[in-house]
Structure 1
Amino acid sequence: MTPFNRFVAILGITLVSAQAHAVDVSFTSSAGLAQSYGNTYTTTVDGLTISASAWSSTARANQFEQAALTLTPGFGLGVCSSQEKANCTAKNFADALGNKGADDLILFSFSGAVNLQSLSMIQFGGDSDLSIWAGAGAFSPAGLKASLIGTATLYDNTSNVNTVKTVSLAGFTGSYDWIAVAARIGQNNDFAKLQSLTINPVAQPVPDAATWMTMLAGLGLVGFRVNRRQA
């Protein structure tokens, strides 16, 4: 293969690798997580790093403060608030993402922009309504009330059967750096553990016409020089 053809092949591989594909991040097969206030769970899938942290509206005036993130193999992510104490047990679903006594929230942050596809959860206690937010840029709910995060997208559960449920995130049509999932704000009977999150890393922008012309001119110059050397 000539240097010119090798360069063209590398360029083709680079363009193909820039195409986005869905990433399914599971939280059920991981080992248990040491529980402490402010702990995080971080994983990297296909070069994308996803970090999860726990929060609860147990601070003064129902403001969010750091809680303990729980990870139960086979079940998924939940939250222990300062009211429930770190290392809380499954009694009365205390270690789940819930809203009894205080509103629990799990924040997922991404190392790059993503499109949101869906999440799955397992329901406890007969109901699992959710409030969901997403945004771009750095974000922390510390010291915020739920109303200050913005208008939540609501997921209304329609079945009291405690099974795994899939929540579509198709309503989030942009690209996002984070997503926050809470037990339904304003209620007190919702409990769930988050099992997986499906996202689509945002592909690199396709070069505009001027950039393509510059690239083609460069390729032509490389080809011309290679042909001269071979001659």
Structure 2
Amino acid sequence: MSYAYLLKYIIIGDTGVGKSCLLLQFTDQRFQLVHDLTIGVEFGSRMVTAGGKQVKLQIWDTAGQESFRSITRSYYRGAAGALLVYDVTRRETFDNLSSWLQDCRANANHNMVIMLVGNKSDVSHRRAVSTEEGEMFARENGLLFVETSAKSAFGVDDAFVATAGAVLAKIDTGVLDVKNESSGVKLGYDPGRKGTSDVARLDVRRAEPGASSCC
């Protein structure tokens, strides 16, 4: 399948906020209750329609542990969009957003589109961060915002597709230069090469034997 652009994304945030579950729900349309902790990075891709164009999203899911922050920083470079994820049931993951955002802006293209994602919205009885607080943080820091549930799939597609729409808007206005690969955007694929819209998993390393619940 042909596509107009390839957009590179990175998913960041604390351990256990559901980053890997969001990626799995978006690319495979399935939920895995117990998910091994990500060590290093995981990778997935999917075709979507945004801004009236067919685009391919190439998504890097990063480890949230502090010990892997140096690895994560290397993936900021060359990314057009970032999903900054927190867990609405764990206040500390929201409190740590400023540190993640500082890291992101220090290492990424300054035109990167950042979507703030409040995950696990389905667990309403355990909510520790209100929707209004998420909206305020996003507004004060110039971010997009959505709440999601990787378990029910609520808002998951919106998080990825709305980010793509904002990236395409920057392309249309000339803010992002598609000829510069550091922008995280590439023009559509060579028609002579087979499209690869299926999920790919590359160099996936997992912790043993630790596992975490990531609804």
Give the TM-score normalised by the residue count of structure 2: 0.29
Greater relative CO, 1 or 2 (CA 8 Å, sep 6+): 2
Higher helix share: 2
Give the TM-score normalised by the residue count of structure 1: 0.28
User: Which structure has the bigger radius of gyration?
Assistant: 1
Higher strand share: 1
